[in-house]
Amino acid sequence: MKKRMFISLASALMLLNSINVSAMDITSHAACVIDAQTGKTYYSYNENEPLAPASMTKVMTVYIVYEKIADGTLSKNTLITADAEDEAASNDSEATNVPLICGTQYSVDELIGAILVPSACAASAMIGKYISGSEQKFALLMNSTASALGINAYYEDASGLSDNNRITAASMAQLAKVLITKYPDVLNYTSLTSINFKGKSYKSTNNMLPGKSYEYPGTDGLKTGTTQLAGCCFTGTAVDDDIRLISVTMHSEYSSARFEDSIQLLSYGFEQAHYMYDNILATDMRLFINGNEVPAFAYSGPGEGLYFIIEDLKDYGFDIAWDPSAKTVTAHLNSDKPVTPIPLDIYKGYPAGSIFMPIEKDTALSAGVSLGKTTYTFKHVYSLNGYTAVSADELGSISASCTWDPAAKRLDIIT
């Protein structure tokens, strides 16, 4: 049984971009920005310190609601009747709320909107009670869910009003990533600048949405939080092209600071992410196929690892076939074909981590390799000005052997 090799580039690449992390003026006590697809952290500060999240607690509440919708316990049309406790809680002037009337039914859909847009605390407690029987029991479910997700968090209520709730910035980002990835429908709520709740309009607390005071391109979520203990917090998310980032700021001294910090985090993160997503990079790692060194490159976006140009295999005992109708290039192993290794001097002038060639987007290109009776279609394929970059890790997964020597930074593949 072949063991799949994966080469992490986390320590192998030095990104050469124009933004200096130290130049950012982050005032929040803790902060981070991560890639929602790859999970890569682009910047972090005090990210592992447990802090009070205030109403960002509601992200876990909503995640559990979506879990219950997914397993059939709830639907968006499920009606929940407010009781006297819910009505009293909704009139708390110290908390953000929408009014709940005792004896009135509210749909899960309405409550999700109230929780995520104007950050209704009583609505959070109400839906938690419905799911678990009491808010205290719901908090136990929140904690067991956090444990199952592997995040560092502790909850005592569904809304974030408790000063005992804790989560780290890193775990807050991870929770948001899981929620958005698993239940992207949540963005249909968090992207709203306002909702209509029982005939009255309520504005979003997220001031980075379109038309708001700190509008940031591509923002469509996620959740603010504010208490005296927690300060001002914000978990944000934005999209640029095919890249989604998640930023977290915790314990900002004033409301606007969390958005100012988030703008810096996202801008820095997108600069980093585009460098990784949009380019094949030079590397000091080496690739050998059947004992012959093949020009190797690095990619640090989705499908991170060591790459090579599949058309180069024509010099290493493979025949190359091109199907223009399917836009597919395939390398066929030919044991009778002579090997004429490519001179590698031309590649030595590129420092590791520097851009070797930009990736062409939206080419619908595919690539495969045929090793005798085995044919494999690469999952990660990138077009490079008429050439096709594919993953050496993927080739290694179907080959007879694949060995990585970390000291020599060398991958050997025997097909």
Per-residue pLDDT at 10? 41
The full DSSP string for 97-109 is -----TT-EEEHH
Q: Rounded distance, CA 168 to CA 174, Å?
A: 10
Written as six digits, the tokens of 109 are 């859909």
Adjacent-strand bridge partners of 257: none
Which of 3.40.1390.10, 3.40.710.10, 3.10.129.10, 3.40.50.300 is the CATH number of 27-277? 3.40.710.10
Helix (H, G, I), strand (E, B) or coil at 344: coil
Q: Rounded distance, CA 119 to CA 313, Å?
A: 57
**Residue intervals in the chain for CATH 3.40.710.10:** 27-277
Please enumerate in sequence order all residues whose Cβ is within 8 A of that of 348, keeping only pairs 6 or more positions apart, or say none. none
Per-residue pLDDT at 408? 96
Per-residue pLDDT at 15? 41
Residues designated catalytic: 55, 58, 119
Q: Rounded distance, CA 293 to CA 375, Å?
A: 23
- Classify residue 163 by its DSSP letter: T
- Along the 415 residues of the chain, how does pLDDT read in single tens digits? 233 344 444 434 434 343 455 568 899 999 999 999 999 999 999 999 999 999 999 999 999 999 999 999 999 999 999 999 999 999 999 999 999 999 999 999 999 999 999 999 999 999 999 999 999 999 999 999 999 999 999 999 999 999 999 999 999 999 999 999 999 999 999 999 999 999 999 999 999 999 999 999 999 999 999 999 999 999 999 999 989 999 999 999 999 999 999 999 999 999 999 999 999 999 999 999 999 999 999 999 988 999 999 999 999 999 999 999 999 999 999 999 999 999 998 888 899 999 999 999 878 899 999 998 889 999 999 999 999 999 999 999 999 999 999 999 999 999 9
Question: What CA dihedral angle connects 308, 310, 315 and 321, to 10 degrees?
Answer: 180
Please enumerate in sequence order all residues whose Cβ is within 8 A of that of 287, keeping only pairs 6 or more positions apart, or say none. 293, 294, 295, 296, 306, 308, 392, 410, 411, 413
Nearest to 164 by CA among 331, 50, 71, 282: 50
Cite the beta strand spans of 53-99 per DSSP E.
79-81
Per-residue pLDDT at 373? 85
Written as six digits, the tokens of 394 are 């993927």
